[in-house]
Amino acid sequence: MSKNLTTRAEDYSKWYNELVVKADLAENSAVRGCMVIKPYGYAIWEKMQAELDRMFKETGHQNAYFPLFVPKSLFEAEEKNAEGFAKECAVVTHYRLQTDPDNEGKLRVDPNAKLEEELVVRPTSEAIIWNTYKGWIQSYRDLPILVNQWANVVRWEMRTRLFLRTAEFLWQEGHTAHATKEEAIAETVQMNEVYAQFAENFMAIPVVQGVKTESERFAGAEDTYCIEALMQDGKALQAGTSHFLGQNFAEAFDVKFTNKEGKQDYVWATSWGVSTRLMGALIMTHSDDKGLVLPPNLAPYKVVIVPIYKNEEQFEAIKKVADQITSDLRELNISVKFDGRDTLRPGAKFAQHELQGVPLRIAIGPKDLENETVELARRDTFTKEIVALDRINVVVKDLLEEIQNSLFNKALDFRNSHITEVDTFDEFKAVLESKGGFISAHWDGTIETEQKIKDLTKATIRCIPLENKKEEGKCVFTGNLSTQRVLFAKAY
Amino acid sequence: MSKNLTTRAEDYSKWYNELVVKADLAENSAVRGCMVIKPYGYAIWEKMQAELDRMFKETGHQNAYFPLFVPKSLFEAEEKNAEGFAKECAVVTHYRLQTDPDNEGKLRVDPNAKLEEELVVRPTSEAIIWNTYKGWIQSYRDLPILVNQWANVVRWEMRTRLFLRTAEFLWQEGHTAHATKEEAIAETVQMNEVYAQFAENFMAIPVVQGVKTESERFAGAEDTYCIEALMQDGKALQAGTSHFLGQNFAEAFDVKFTNKEGKQDYVWATSWGVSTRLMGALIMTHSDDKGLVLPPNLAPYKVVIVPIYKNEEQFEAIKKVADQITSDLRELNISVKFDGRDTLRPGAKFAQHELQGVPLRIAIGPKDLENETVELARRDTFTKEIVALDRINVVVKDLLEEIQNSLFNKALDFRNSHITEVDTFDEFKAVLESKGGFISAHWDGTIETEQKIKDLTKATIRCIPLENKKEEGKCVFTGNLSTQRVLFAKAY
């Protein structure tokens, strides 16, 4: 197959880029900054979607679909809210291509087909959605609106990396409308909790729940909740955000309702989202120098069976056993793939399945047929064992659970051992340089200090953890009084 | 609630538009030609997606995702193939908005942020996908590629109608690559059959499978298979297409492979798609003057329970019964909604559920509590019956199956009674005028005749049915010899 991956120790960034391509997850396309998500990568994303969608529906949300385009004038209405990212985006100015009269065989934009008003390809949908909600909401009876959208969005990023930062990406964006501030805040908190549960139980990624500082907040939000994860290279990755938008968007788009007391008031809003960026977090949390490592709960197939044979007769006998295992495991809701390709040797298949992170591999050879056994190999630990055929169901089921838990615990140990409390700025810089990770330090609460620390170290405040204990202290930079520690890190 | 719908007899087109909006399926947006698909409408589309996706995967396909944008130059490569619709599309020319220095509070396109090459918002993805496949295919071992994409596409339509014709719409597009012509044709036929089964078994819409004439074919296809349905107003609707693309796209994008004999050859291709247009077909096939009628297999919830009560105590007692019914039915995989809103009277709720096409309604009042019964009402026939509580599971289950079958049979009877064989052009015009529907007539096989008939009557050849019997005859227009009848109709 392919040559070995660059190792993480050699070049973490290169390791990541190679892994994404070689494991058939995604690749760059002919369009600058836009990726092709390949079938194997998309199958993982589909698993994520299915779980998240189930969780959204269980918490009372419905899906809907809003237009890809946002008229420029709607951005003007929210500009004071969205100043942060209304700028770098794809703008549609024309609606026709035609053959170029001056250049045979070429196409050009028809100069007579200019739009009266330019359309922006949505970088996010607050504007178009709140402009729509205006028509849906008159009274408190119309509230709450609990809507989610699965969609593609475009932000004209200059430096892109597969999954982590792409011009076009896939995401879900929840947009809810409420009659009271309390209800909107409860929704914001709930959805952040949903993200945390998803990250931990399905992605096997431990996360810190927290709120952003003012300067890291979503433009237009009164509070941004987030889940922050830690990658193996000691950099943090923001894996999901949930925004309490106050009445900002309702005011910008004039969305009022009559409350129970018969008075007019602006509607309270939230929005929350996760994106294909999660794929990057998943890859960087668990994978190793042999390739992808997948938590079983998100693996496109959890088990692969590789036959080892010298002739057709052996192949058929092995296939018969494999079919039985497959159907038995499927009854337990465990997906299995039989790799019967006659174009690759077993060793090459092993390498490919390792590269693609299939959690368990079963190999069956002629001796196994005789002994009524199989060889079972774990992707995460590379340990192998010989298992009797009549025990395979139980063993596989237990092992998959163990792998899921083990990946989470390994990541949790790593994360916990990379949260360092520091009390001086020298220590701060030394830890950041030597081991990275989260640095828990006192901060005086000012934007100025935050900015200076960022300028000097590239570390930002990732969040103020929700489970913070209050603690008197002095700001690590200015020495001014502080009441709690916050988490700093360099971040993706 | 809302006033009565315009009736179909009064104005079919107006009836449709009103129904779509009043039943909360979709509405127009601030962006010309683009719709908002509302939660109730989207829930139906999700059901369609889930079934189709299952059928695609059962036939060996995987999902993937390709970029929204297609560089203009890729369209040039396929222009000879795609001449039909590469023209009217949204074109991105710039990548930045900025505050307008001459106009405070306004935004403008940054004139310095012009793209070197314009990007077209995909009207379909053959170009970007075949440009990608070029990198995936070297040998017959890389084939077949069986990939599907769920995506939004944009075609700059001048006259739009909710679901039926919108500038942006949602669809799936399958794009497969094969080593042999036979295999590609088999795939084309198979996917058309999948569409037909889906239409009949889930949408309860009878369809004619056929192939398109040359002039109705997809640009770049060697053969276009289709499923054609008939709406209640006697107009046909193309509900899905499956294209055998020959080697046209492989040649345009230079995609060659080494076959088993070691020789280089161009790859054989298919593409196939259905879109949110199916929502229009679903609505127009079954619905009536009271609103939407939904086949149970696609209803967001199959049963609604409406409590009829005068006080809180009655409400609680009814709710207890309703909860039991709900949990019993859910065990049978039958989705139920309890409509406990205290802001609407039962009559208004009845009207809303009729408008939204919920297949079965259960009403429970104080007398029902006494008698241990409920009132069960069918949406499609408006028939009601009193059912004993201990029989409700069986009755509901059977009724839902009966409704699904009954809707299909009703549509089939209508469709069959609207296929008229004619042998003269006067008859052709008379039937088209008086009852519409499909007209089965001999045609001499020429594009000229087809075009003349279209110019004179607005009827087009919808398809040459796959199950056509060969029959000697004379063309209904020219009198020239013909070997088979084809189906004409006016169409959406």
Nearest to A71 among B31, B79, B89 (CB): B31
CATH number of residue B248's parent domain: 3.30.930.10
List pLDDT tens digits, range A294-348: 999 999 999 999 999 999 999 999 999 999 999 999 999 999 999 999 989 999 9
What is the C-alpha to C-alpha distance for residues B303 and A306, in angstroms, rounded to an integer?
Answer: 47
The neighbour count for residue B102, using CB atoms within 10 Å, is 6
Q: State residue B146's pLDDT score.
A: 98
Residue A121 has pLDDT above 70, yes or no: yes
Residue ranges of alpha helices (H) inside A31-110 are 39-58, 72-82
Nearest to A38 among B35, B64, B95 (CB): B64
Q: Do A65 and B92 touch (CB under 8 A)?
A: no
In this prediction, residues B312-341 reach a mean pLDDT of: 97
Same-domain status, A344 and A370? yes
Q: State residue B81's pLDDT score.
A: 52
List pLDDT tens digits, range B388-424: 999 999 999 999 999 999 999 999 999 999 999 999 9
Tell me the percentage of chain A whose pLDDT exceeds 90: 92
Residue A82 has pLDDT above 60, yes or no: no
| Domain end position, chosen among B263, B286, B309 | B286
Residue B40, in any domain of the structure = yes
Residue B83 has pLDDT above 90, yes or no: no
Would you place residue B158 in the very low, low, confident or very high pLDDT band (cuts 50, 70, 90)? confident
B-facing residues of A in 311-350 (CB < 8 A) are 343
CATH number of residue A467's parent domain: 3.30.110.30
Same-domain status, A42 and A174? yes
Would you call B43 an interface residue with chain A, using a CB distance cutoff of 8 Å? yes
Q: Do B93 and A93 touch (CB under 8 A)?
A: yes
Would you call A179 an interface residue with chain B, using a CB distance cutoff of 8 Å? no
Chain mean position to CA B387: 36
Q: State residue A1's pLDDT score.
A: 44
Strand positions, DSSP E, A267-422: 268-275, 303-307, 336-338, 360-364, 373-378, 384-388, 419-421
Residue B473 backbone dihedrals phi, psi, to 5 degrees: -170, -175
Same-domain status, B278 and B180? yes
Chain mean position to CA B72: 29
Residue A101, in any domain of the structure = no
In which element (H, E) is residue A156 found?
none
Q: State residue A422's pLDDT score.
A: 97
Would you call A48 an interface residue with chain B, using a CB distance cutoff of 8 Å? no
Same-domain status, A375 and A478? no
Would you place residue A105 in the very low, low, confident or very high pLDDT band (cuts 50, 70, 90)? confident
Q: Do A67 and B31 touch (CB under 8 A)?
A: yes
| Domain end position, chosen among A254, A286, A318 | A286
Would you call A153 an interface residue with chain B, using a CB distance cutoff of 8 Å? no
Nearest to A42 among B64, B97, B156 (CB): B64
B69 contacts in chain A (CB < 8 Å): 31, 34, 90, 168
Would you call B51 an interface residue with chain A, using a CB distance cutoff of 8 Å? no
Same-domain status, A262 and A131? yes
Residue A48 has pLDDT above 50, yes or no: yes
Task: Record the tokens describing residue A140, joined without a space.
Answer: 């408190």
Q: State residue A18's pLDDT score.
A: 98
Same-domain status, A169 and A242? yes
List pLDDT tens digits, range B217-246: 998 899 999 999 999 999 999 999 999 999
List pLDDT tens digits, range A355-414: 999 999 999 999 999 999 999 999 999 999 999 999 999 999 999 999 999 999 999 999
Mean pLDDT of chain A: 95
Would you call A74 an interface residue with chain B, using a CB distance cutoff of 8 Å? yes
Same-domain status, A131 and A264? yes
Same-domain status, A357 and A391? yes
What number of C-beta contacts closer than 8 Å exist between A and B? Answer: 189
Residue B86, in any domain of the structure = no
A2 vs B449, more confident = B449
Q: Which residue has the tokens 């309490």?
A: A244
- Rounded to two decimals, the ipTM of the complex is 0.96
Residue B92, in any domain of the structure = no
Say how many domains are in chain A.
Answer: 3
Would you place residue B115 in the very low, low, confident or very high pLDDT band (cuts 50, 70, 90)? very high
Same-domain status, B137 and B213? yes
In this prediction, residues B471-486 reach a mean pLDDT of: 95
| Domain end position, chosen among B402, B429, B447 | B402
Residue B87 has pLDDT above 90, yes or no: no
First vs last C-alpha separation in chain B:
31
List pLDDT tens digits, range A189-227: 999 999 999 999 999 999 999 999 999 999 889 999 999
Residue A91, in any domain of the structure = no
Residue A3, in any domain of the structure = no
Task: Record the tokens describing residue A280, joined without a space.
Answer: 């990057």
In this prediction, residues A484-490 reach a mean pLDDT of: 97
Most A CBs within 10 Å: which of B22, B31, B169, as the mutation test of the A interface?
B31
Tell me the percentage of chain B whose pLDDT exceeds 70: 98
Q: Which residue has the tokens 């081991």?
A: A435
Q: How far is CA A87 from CA A35, A155, A488, B209, B441, in A?
A: 22, 9, 28, 49, 58
In this prediction, residues B371-386 reach a mean pLDDT of: 98
List pLDDT tens digits, range A434-448: 999 999 999 999 999
Q: Which domain holds residue A446?
A: 419-489
Same-domain status, B145 and B200? yes
Residue B452, in any domain of the structure = yes
CATH number of residue A391's parent domain: 3.40.50.800
Residue B257, in any domain of the structure = yes
Q: State residue B1's pLDDT score.
A: 44
A68 half-sphere exposure, CB direction, 13 A CA radius: 27
In this prediction, residues B321-337 reach a mean pLDDT of: 97
What is the C-alpha to C-alpha distance for residues B439 and B458, in angstroms, rounded to an integer?
Answer: 13
Residue A264 burial (C-beta neighbours within 10 Å; 0-12, 13-18, 19+): exposed
List pLDDT tens digits, range A455-464: 999 999 999 9
Q: Do B39 and A62 touch (CB under 8 A)?
A: yes
Same-domain status, A142 and A205? yes
Q: State residue A76's pLDDT score.
A: 85
Tell me the nearest-neighbour CA distance from B347 into chain A, angstroms: 18
Same-domain status, A320 and A278? no
